[in-house]
Chains A and B, each alone.
Chain A
């Protein structure tokens, strides 16, 4: 069982003052699957992500990634261990080109950040790798475009590309389809499925859109008011009465 788990969280809590955004959450994310974390607005999904990736320090609890305790490690350390993430709001390097967005992550991953005296252009291998990633995302022809000029959906893809460039073992996507049109959402879903099949990376995503969740997740975790309400296969979650209650019925059928 242990070797099948990539991320294991035990009794995790995060309090802001007296308010517990996350309360005593214990869960496992299995390796080689797509797991979704769902929950109504304010359920604590983003806070959970921020605690796991090291933006916030947990109030109590343990986080184990690939058999190694990472509780309280800062983001740059969790990232180097193979924990990639994307953000709910577009969080890319807007004034840099699309290629540079990906290259920055590649430079970091390959440990070339402190190379001061060799031109970036001399790093053929990095450029090629960036090109491959952009090709995978379908953005190869936009490589030289300044990122802020991209359409919203494309910016979100760059966001995923930055995370992918870090060669993550586990990639945590925070609402990858937030704010997208139906067409953009379809493209993103296809992209995630394609990346999953091609790379075999474990995906762990939060998502609002139930249609998306039920179409791609192998396993679903439900967070409600900071606590884990249920976990199981999509079928189990769909038929779980407590989950249905938390969602006021209705929307799970979408």
Chain B
């Protein structure tokens, strides 16, 4: 029954994502675009955190690498959308492979600190390398490239067009992550989260597997970053700063790290809260904090995780009653 309810909710959600924007104004569509992109970013983070047990505090590095690569490719080489996004993904993946090579040598809090350190090194790199990155101003003034589907070229200039493009890309990569987490590889990752030492005694080189997971997570974060740079018409150092790394952490825990779509729901909650609260007051962070604190205390598995376990309990009661 829970499974059925889940399928219905999922189908309704996807239907909503496709249908609603056709009837919505520009502002909600823009908001939704940002949500979809950050949902993917948070999901990619959760491959490391929820599935592998590694809390990364530098995930923005790969979001930013993707964003900067995208902006540079579009500005200097006039690549069209898909090739540019593909190259940005590879750049971020390469960055993750290099940084991950060092970070996976440690775990727990030390891993978090190493990722923070390397993430901020990337931040200072983009901040200081003015000739390439424009320093603190970032890269602006480029046109959103065309979507070249061989048979036809589409402009992604309008918010609606870009939204649908971003949505399809994000859904595809969400599917990619879902596939990974439900594969034998995903089982090994989850086992490492539970008990990394034990995994090494069943014949798995845990560092190698962590490294692969780190690289994959960076790859997908790069896609999200590339999309975000196009959405924002800008690649700026804030994309790489540690406060950006904190966002997926927040979203994932908010939504639930042990449920695949938890971080995506977390992204939705995060943006809806921001949107509604900033209508009334400038200082929305105080409210975010005030909402975050009880959620952390009362929803130990995150919002989605807790909802699902309520559903299970309800079902258990029905089964016993019937």
Footprint of B on A, CB under 8 Å? 53, 55, 74-77, 79-80, 84-85, 87, 91-96, 100-101, 103-105, 107-109, 112-121, 123, 126, 162, 165-166
Give the interface segment out of B7-15, B19-27, B96-104, B178-186. B178-186
- Using CB atoms, name the residue of chain B closest to A103: B187
**Cα distance A212–B105 when bound, in Å?**
41
Q: Does B150 contact A (CB under 8 A)?
A: no
A91 CA to B185 CA, complexed, in Å: 20
A94 partner residues in chain B, CB cutoff 8 A = 194-195
A221 nearest CB across to chain B (Å): 22
Interface window among B135-143, B163-171, B205-213, B276-284: B205-213
- The answer on a CB contact under 8 Å between B194 and A113 is no
Say whether A114 contacts B200, CB under 8 Å.
no
- State A61–B107 Cα separation when bound (angstroms): 30
**Is the pair B184, A75 in contact by a Cβ cutoff of 8 Å?**
no
SS class of chain B's interface: helix, strand, loop or mixed?
helix
Given contact pairs A96-B190, A113-B209, A76 touches B203 in the complex (Cβ within 8 A):
yes
Q: Can you name 23 A-B pairs with beta carbons within 8 Å?
A: A55-B197, A74-B200, A79-B202, A85-B201, A87-B198, A92-B198, A93-B190, A93-B194, A93-B198, A95-B193, A95-B194, A96-B187, A96-B191, A105-B202, A107-B188, A113-B184, A113-B188, A113-B209, A114-B185, A115-B184, A116-B179, A116-B180, A119-B182
- Given A109-B202, A113-B209, decide whether A104 and B183 contact each other with a Cβ distance below 8 A: no
**Which residues of B lie under 8 Å from residue A107 when comparing CB positions?**
184, 187-188
Contact partner, A93, options B186, B191, B204, B206, Cβ 8 Å: B191
Q: Which residues of A contact B203 (CB under 8 A)?
A: 76-77, 79-80, 108-109, 166
CA distance A36 to B129 in the complex (A): 64
A91 engages B179 (CB within 8 Å): no
User: Which of A74, A95, A109, A162 makes the CB contact (< 8 A) with B198?
Assistant: A162
Chain A residues lying within 8 Å of B186, measured Cβ to Cβ, are 116, 120
Q: Which residues of A contact B191 (CB under 8 A)?
A: 93, 96, 100-101, 104
Query: Considering the chains assembled together, what is the distance between the CA atoms of A94 and B195 in angstroms?
Result: 8
B112 CB-CB contact with A under 8 Å: no
A104, B202: Cβ atoms closer than 8 Å: yes
Give the chain B neighbours of A117 by CB distance below 8 A. Answer: 179-180, 183
B197 contact set on A, CB distance < 8 A:
55, 75, 91
For A103, the chain B residues whose CB sits under 8 A away are: 184, 187
Contacts of A109 in B (CB 8 A): 202-203
Interfacial chain B residues near A85, Cβ < 8 Å: 201
Asked whether any CB of chain A lies closer than 8 Å to the CB of B86, the reply is no
Please report the C-alpha to C-alpha distance between residue A162 and residue B194 in the assembled complex, in whole angstroms: 14
The 6 nearest A-B residue pairs measured at CB: A79-B203, A93-B194, A104-B191, A80-B203, A107-B184, A105-B202
Is residue B199 contacting chain A, with contact meaning CB distance below 8 A? yes
CB distance from A164 to the nearest CB of B (A): 11
The answer to whether B199 and A104 touch across the interface, beta carbons within 8 angstroms, is yes
Closest to B193 in A: A95
By a CB distance below 8 angstroms, the chain A residues around B209 are 113
B202–A162 CB distance below 8 A: yes
In this complex, the member of B185, B201, B206, B212 whose beta carbon has the largest number of chain A beta carbons within 10 angstroms is B201
Given that A79-B201, A104-B202 are contacting pairs, would A112 and B184 also be in contact in the complex, using a CB cutoff of 8 Å? yes
- Complex alpha-carbon distance, A166 and B202, angstroms: 6
Instruction: Determine how close the nearest CB of chain B comes to the CB of A151; give it in whole angstroms.
Output: 19
- 9 A-B pairs besides A94-B194, A108-B202, A120-B183 with CB distance below 8 A are A85-B201, A92-B198, A107-B184, A113-B188, A113-B209, A115-B184, A119-B179, A119-B182, A165-B202
